[in-house]
Structure 1
Amino acid sequence: MEEEKLTAREEKVSPLKLNSVQYVVALLLVVLLAGLWRLQVVSADNYRVLAEQNRVRKVPIMAPRGKIFDREGRLLVDNYASISCYLLREPARDWDADLPMIAQGLHMTVDQIQYVLRRYQFAPKYQPIPLKQDLSPDEVAFIEAHRNELPELETLDEQRRLYPNGGFAAHLIGYVGEISENDLNKEKYAFYQAGDVVGKSGVEATYDAVLRGTDGSRDVVVDSRGREVGQLGQQDPVPGKDLRLSIDLDVQMAAEKALEGKTGAIVAMDPHTGEILAMVSRPTYDPNQFAVRLTKEYWNKILNDPDHPMMNKTIQAQLAPGSTFKIIMSYAGLEEGVAQDMHVNCAGGGTFFGHFFACDKHHGGVDIYHAIPWSCDTFYYTLAERLQIDTIAKYATAVGISQKTGIDLPDEATGTMPSTAWKLKNFHDKWYAGEVISVGIGQGAVQASPIQLARALSGLASGGALKRPHVILDGQISQQYQQAILDTYAGSGEKQVSLKTENWQIITDAMAETLNSGTAAASHLEGVDFAGKTGTAQVMSHAALARSGGGHKTVPNAWFVGMTPRRNPDIVVAVLWENGDWGANAAKLGAQVVNTFVEKQRKKAGNLMKVAEAPKPATPLENAAKKEEPVTN
């Protein structure tokens, strides 16, 4: 019986099955050994690096931006120490449960934090997410007190921009802000990443690569919970390069004061070099609001302001230049040989092409020598009729009207100079001869910016030499970068236009008479060779004005372009006072700026004179010789 059971058991486990099981076990052992060999031998270096990365964290050290000074080295833009909070995504963990605590400690809402997380969801995992900038002391204390519960929070010391108060020179200097998603798609920002702070406007934008610097980092040792327990090394950041602007702080302050409480722009330039000495646009904004995360309330406030505080009116306002355009009309008429012998009887206006065009006064007999200081519309109606639109356009575009000047600031406007070709291209219609009458006094379709008028009229006062405006002093950046600026901000640049000496003298002498007995006589500066031209430009037609019912916004714009001295000037000032009424009002603002410049130059000259007149100190040899001289009675 037992033998039968044993025989049955042997029949159940056949040698073939036993061998198969042995082969399977052996194969599994081979696979396991191969896996161990791959992990511990082949991939040992790779896993060693990964383990090291889990142990070592790279903490960025932000480079401070370069400071900005005026032409004399006086500080305009500085940096201040700030602490920001970042969210670390290595090691990965679920933060949802921590969000309420984080939001409460950082004085944020959970929705705000989730918005930030969504914005950076596609960023590399090694890149920390900026949660909040410029932390308060209690927010820093919250992070330090909760290191164990919230190891994903990290604080970083940063340098943030500190701009002058009150929006001083805001449009010239610009502001910085966190790079946007749209910017990241541009070639200019190919080497930037989300969270970087970049220049957004003004000098900050144009010279961002110079001011930016290079960030550093430090390698810290962390434990399994992400807490810092040591430091391995540090790569120091390279600070950005400081820049000296061409503006003169004293002249800038005078321009800021002159335009305070008004809407418009003032720009002052050195016609010899093209250096901008002052640039003011009103209303302004506070760039310090952009240095940290911009609040929705402040952005909506400036965005909905009808006077457009974000617009740099010195280079972006495109408005009818009014009677300041009469200088260009005079230039065209004289160079064409038409204006020299032209005499007009002004009886309060004139009839042209069947329509009566008014002048503000009955000037009587007018020639070119009186037309500029008296600003007689009738004279320039007649001159425009004789020259016709394409001749006027030729000379206006020659001095830069309807062209960018090439100033090294973003978003310069081009303006408009009408012509037969211009109207055909833009309106698919022919030019009618009667349209030229309004153009003759700087109205109609003519549009210019203050910087264009400043450059054009200073060029004519300099014998036809037009310089390219720029806002930093020469010699501070490499030739390669300088060429990149020229290529980026292309414009009419430097040029010499034809201007006969006798015509140059007629124009500049007549502009000087404007400040003596003409339309800007109230702004005369005693003892100063001050020349210029006023302009009053309507903001709407007489029919539209009648329908509007009046109001401040219907008052004409006031213009003034002035310079000293009258020929080859050292400074030119262009003033736009929106709804400022008569150009004589704008002339008073320009006179304040010019007077500040002149007084400063006189003071410098007086100090140099005192130095030159001071007795030269005796040398040691001369003193010794005096001691050896015999005493005589």
Structure 2
Amino acid sequence: MEQQKKKKSHFPFRLNVLFFSVFLLFSILILRLGFVQIVYGENFKRDLERKEAITISNPVPRGKMFDRHYRVIVNNTPRKAITFTNQGYSQTELLETAEKLAGLIEKTTEKVTDRDQRDFWVLKNPKRAEEKITKQEHALYTAKKLSDIDLYRLKLERITEAELKEISDRDMEVLAIYKEFNNGYKFSPQIVKNEHVTDHEIAVVSENLQSLPGVDTTTDWERTYPFDLTLKSLLGKVTNSEEGLPAEQLEYYLSKGYNRNDRVGKSQLEFQYEEILRGYKSKIRNVTDKSGNVIESHPITDGKNGKDLVLTIDMDLQKAIDRIIEDELWAVKKLPGTVLTDRAYVVLMDPFTGEILAMSGKKMIKNPDTGRTEMIDDALGTFTTTYNVGSTVKGATILTGYKTGAISPGTTFDDSGIKIKDTPIKKSYAYLGRLNEISALKKSSNVYMFHTAIRMGKGHYEYDKPLNFNNPMAFETIRNSFASFGLGTRTGIDLPNEQTGFKGTSKLPGYLLDLVIGQYDTYSAMQLAQYISTIANGGNRMQPHVVKEIRNAPSDTDEVGPVFQEMNPKVLNTIDMKKEWMNRVQIGFKKVMQEPGGTAYKFFGNARYSPAGKTGTAEAFYDGPFRKNYGKEPPPVMNLSLVGYAPSTHPEVAMAVLVPWAYQGEKNDNRANLKIGRRVMDTYFRLKKQ
């Protein structure tokens, strides 16, 4: 009995201990909850209500381009578009939205790759994809001998063609849309479809925006060209939304506030004036919760279209010159010795302002599909390719001779050929008698220029004896002087990728003689235009430019907006020479075209606009596209050039014509430079009257 009483007395005690322990634990829990609520409650509340402000920029139309008469050259055509902005959605949410959108629009699948299909199959069949990994591979993964990337690659490789065929046509549309969703960047609008978007598609998508998170309808813009292919290579290109920002300039554009998928100018005028043409995007501030869901939207700034460019180009003149070059090139190709002839260039420039009135280049290429020869635009070649130009540089040679004291007005030389020991005789195309510098320009005497160069090099010439110079700086002196006219240096044109030309490296005396007749260094058509303009205006080297004005975007009622900036004429340097010297060269150039015996008289002698200028023929080595297909080392070819201006007394237009590889063989001179030049000048003055 006594033992039973003892056992009974222990039971209430243990129960009390249990109750007390529970009470103590609850007390600790309540105290802890109270502590958390009182001390950290505000912090947790702030985390719960945390918001993030994200600014989204929406693109605006780029600025237009006009010719000098305010005719639209580059325009924007509005296009209906469907966009998607990823606001932090999961892959599952992206796929669900893509499936809904695929039921509302038609989306082409031509851009869907085999890799896209395999990724999609894994996304749609995760269990089946997982079964493609063996136990051994899982073990290697656990042992960290295989990575997640390795396992995923194995899954993709083991998908069979039969399994890929499970992807239906509808699935392919979903995949195409899903791919566009993933191409975009977070909070950056991405084009899903902007080609052939129907009014019905816009309507049904707009009606279902509530169930399509991130999807929107908007107006996109496409560059259009009212003058078709005319000057298109000069106008440049714009990247599309898939290309986005060029990789090599990514950091630069991002620092300027661009989105990664923004379209930017990638060549020529579109690239050179990107900051002007781009405009200012409209900006909206989206406020998101911590899950990335947008809970508020506030407009910050309205968008503003890009500024417009008014070019110096006259498109009527440009088109006419394009046709002239095409006509003459096709005609030349019918003549003997023109197997390698495939291009020609013309630049027209206002000699007093530097405005480029027309810059035309045409090049023949063989279409790989049809095998036929076609003519394409190569206006860029007027400043990105250089050639030996021949006697057109002789005006600069005479003026350099004056400046260095090698010759003076009226200096004469006999035109007998120059014979240096162990070298072929160097002569003019015919014996021209005794000449002063004016008649040497008129008749294009090589020998006169040789004697001038010998004096500049402080050399002493004797027939069939070695020729040495006592002036080691002769090459630099002549090249620096030529550069002051624009030859062999950048002209400063407001376009990228201008080339300066090739400078011969040998300093042997014979090459100095070649230099002063344009058969050693190479020059571009744009350099020739700047050079002849410098002579035409009396000694100012004007910077050539193709943009005349920058104008603000117009209001709804105006075709052209107000002027934002005018491009004023810029003198790069002034030739430090006596006016008398320049006048004598101008007289020589006038005689070239207007006096019997002048090398261009037969083509320009009856022109009513009083032209002046200089012809050029240079023997050069062919390095064009047919070199590899020629079968043997190509023979020397002849480059033809022509510079001129008119009227000769008060010039208003300067011209450069360059026809590389115009013919092969001494007897095949087709005068393509003169034929093109005469038609171009006639066209300029005819259009001026109209």
TM-score bucket of the superposed structures, by smaller chain: 0.7 to 0.9
Contact 1:79 1:161 in 2 (8 A): yes
Contact 2:95 2:178 in 1 (8 A): no
Cα distance in structure 1, aligned partners of 2:190 and 2:60: 18
Contact 1:70 1:248 in 2 (8 A): yes
Structure 2 counterparts to residues 359-438 of structure 1, below 5 A: 359=427, 361-367=429-435, 368-388=437-457, 389-417=475-503, 423=505, 431-438=507-514
Aligned partner (choices 583, 587, 590) of residue 512 of structure 1: 590
After superposition, the C-alpha distances for 1:260-315 in whole angstroms (9 at most, x for unaligned) are: 36623221111111111112233499xxxxxxxxxxxx9x99xxx99997781122
Cα distance in structure 1, aligned partners of 2:680 and 2:375: 23
Is the counterpart of residue 321 in structure 1 residue 389 in structure 2? yes
Distance 1:311 1:588, change over 3 A: closer
Cα distance in structure 1, aligned partners of 2:297 and 2:76: 27
Cα distance in structure 2, aligned partners of 1:539 and 1:503: 31
* 533-542 or 505-514: bigger deviation: 533-542
Q: State the 1:591 CA deviation.
A: 2.5
Cα distance in structure 2, aligned partners of 1:376 and 1:549: 36
Cα distance in structure 1, aligned partners of 2:616 and 2:197: 52
Contact 2:529 2:654 in 1 (8 A): yes
Cα distance in structure 2, aligned partners of 1:33 and 1:564: 92
Cα distance in structure 2, aligned partners of 1:497 and 1:583: 35
After superposition, the C-alpha distances for 1:453-507 in whole angstroms (9 at most, x for unaligned) are: 2112211222211111122225759xxx989x99xxxx99522112323322221
**Counterpart amino acid of 1:280?**
S
Contact 2:622 2:661 in 1 (8 A): no
Contact 1:264 1:577 in 2 (8 A): yes
Is the counterpart of residue 494 in structure 1 residue 580 in structure 2? no
* 94-103 or 505-514: bigger deviation: 94-103
Q: Which runs of 5+ in 2 are unaligned?
A: 117-175, 330-341, 458-474, 553-563, 664-668
Contact 1:284 1:310 in 2 (8 A): no
| CA RMSD, 1 decimal | 4.6
Cα distance in structure 1, aligned partners of 2:377 and 2:13: 100
Contact 1:250 1:596 in 2 (8 A): no
**Counterpart amino acid of 1:78?**
N
**Match of residue 318 from structure 2:** 252
Identity of aligned residues (%): 24
**Match of residue 33 from structure 2:** 29
Cα distance in structure 2, aligned partners of 1:97 and 1:64: 32
Cα distance in structure 2, aligned partners of 1:319 and 1:116: 51
**Match of residue 562 from structure 1:** 644
Distance 1:356 1:475, change over 3 A: same
Structure 2 counterparts to residues 582-597 of structure 1, below 5 A: 582=669, 584-597=671-684
Contact 2:245 2:253 in 1 (8 A): no
Contact 1:89 1:152 in 2 (8 A): yes
After superposition, the C-alpha distances for 1:170-223 in whole angstroms (9 at most, x for unaligned) are: 23322222421222223796322211122222322222222221122568999x
Cα distance in structure 2, aligned partners of 1:165 and 1:328: 38
Contact 2:270 2:277 in 1 (8 A): yes
Q: State the 1:553 CA deviation.
A: 9.2
SS at match of 1:355: coil
Is the counterpart of residue 533 in structure 1 residue 614 in structure 2? yes
**Counterpart amino acid of 1:216?**
S
Distance 1:335 1:549, change over 3 A: farther
* 13-22 or 236-245: bigger deviation: 13-22
Distance 1:476 1:127, change over 3 A: closer
**Counterpart amino acid of 1:382?**
H
Cα distance in structure 1, aligned partners of 2:274 and 2:305: 13
Contact 2:487 2:523 in 1 (8 A): yes
Structure 2 counterparts to residues 566-585 of structure 1, below 5 A: 566-581=648-663, 582=669, 584-585=671-672
**Match of residue 108 from structure 2:** 106
Q: State the 1:405 CA deviation.
A: 1.8
**Counterpart amino acid of 1:436?**
L
Cα distance in structure 2, aligned partners of 1:116 and 1:574: 53
Cα distance in structure 1, aligned partners of 2:114 and 2:192: 9
**Match of residue 126 from structure 2:** none
Q: Which runs of 5+ in 1 are unaligned?
A: 286-297, 424-429, 604-633
**Counterpart amino acid of 2:401?**
G
* 175-184 or 87-96: bigger deviation: 87-96
Q: State the 1:371 CA deviation.
A: 2.2
Aligned partner (choices 488, 508, 518) of residue 442 of structure 1: 518
**Match of residue 351 from structure 1:** 419
Structure 2 counterparts to residues 195-214 of structure 1, below 5 A: 195-214=261-280
After superposition, the C-alpha distances for 1:342-374 in whole angstroms (9 at most, x for unaligned) are: 544446x43234312454632331422232232
Cα distance in structure 1, aligned partners of 2:612 and 2:482: 20
Distance 1:227 1:80, change over 3 A: farther
**Counterpart amino acid of 1:272?**
F
**Counterpart amino acid of 1:384?**
A
**Counterpart amino acid of 1:213?**
G
**Match of residue 243 from structure 1:** 309
Is the counterpart of residue 330 in structure 1 residue 412 in structure 2? no
**Counterpart amino acid of 1:373?**
K
* 105-114 or 19-28: bigger deviation: 105-114
Is the counterpart of residue 92 in structure 1 residue 89 in structure 2? yes
Aligned partner (choices 218, 234, 241) of residue 156 of structure 1: 218
Contact 2:78 2:219 in 1 (8 A): yes
**Match of residue 457 from structure 1:** 532
Q: State the 1:59 CA deviation.
A: 7.2
**Counterpart amino acid of 1:81?**
P
Is the counterpart of residue 183 in structure 1 residue 249 in structure 2? yes
Cα distance in structure 2, aligned partners of 1:140 and 1:576: 54
Structure 2 counterparts to residues 102-141 of structure 1, below 5 A: 105-111=107-113, 125-137=186-198, 140=201
SS at match of 1:203: helix
Contact 1:467 1:493 in 2 (8 A): yes
Distance 1:10 1:575, change over 3 A: farther
Contact 2:538 2:579 in 1 (8 A): yes
Contact 2:184 2:261 in 1 (8 A): no
Q: State the 1:60 CA deviation.
A: 5.3
Contact 2:86 2:181 in 1 (8 A): no
SS at match of 1:256: helix
Cα distance in structure 2, aligned partners of 1:246 and 1:255: 15
Matched residue pairs, number?
A: 555
Q: State the 1:153 CA deviation.
A: 4.3
Cα distance in structure 2, aligned partners of 1:8 and 1:284: 111
After superposition, the C-alpha distances for 1:129-154 in whole angstroms (9 at most, x for unaligned) are: 34454444399569839868865544
After superposition, the C-alpha distances for 1:512-549 in whole angstroms (9 at most, x for unaligned) are: 2222343323431521111111222333189xx9x967
SS at match of 1:454: helix
**Counterpart amino acid of 1:574?**
A
Cα distance in structure 2, aligned partners of 1:140 and 1:373: 72
Contact 1:559 1:583 in 2 (8 A): no
**Counterpart amino acid of 2:577?**
L
Which structure has the highest helix share of the two?
Answer: 1
SS at match of 2:529: helix
**Match of residue 336 from structure 2:** none
**Counterpart amino acid of 1:8?**
F
**Counterpart amino acid of 2:76?**
N
**Counterpart amino acid of 1:594?**
M
**Match of residue 470 from structure 2:** none
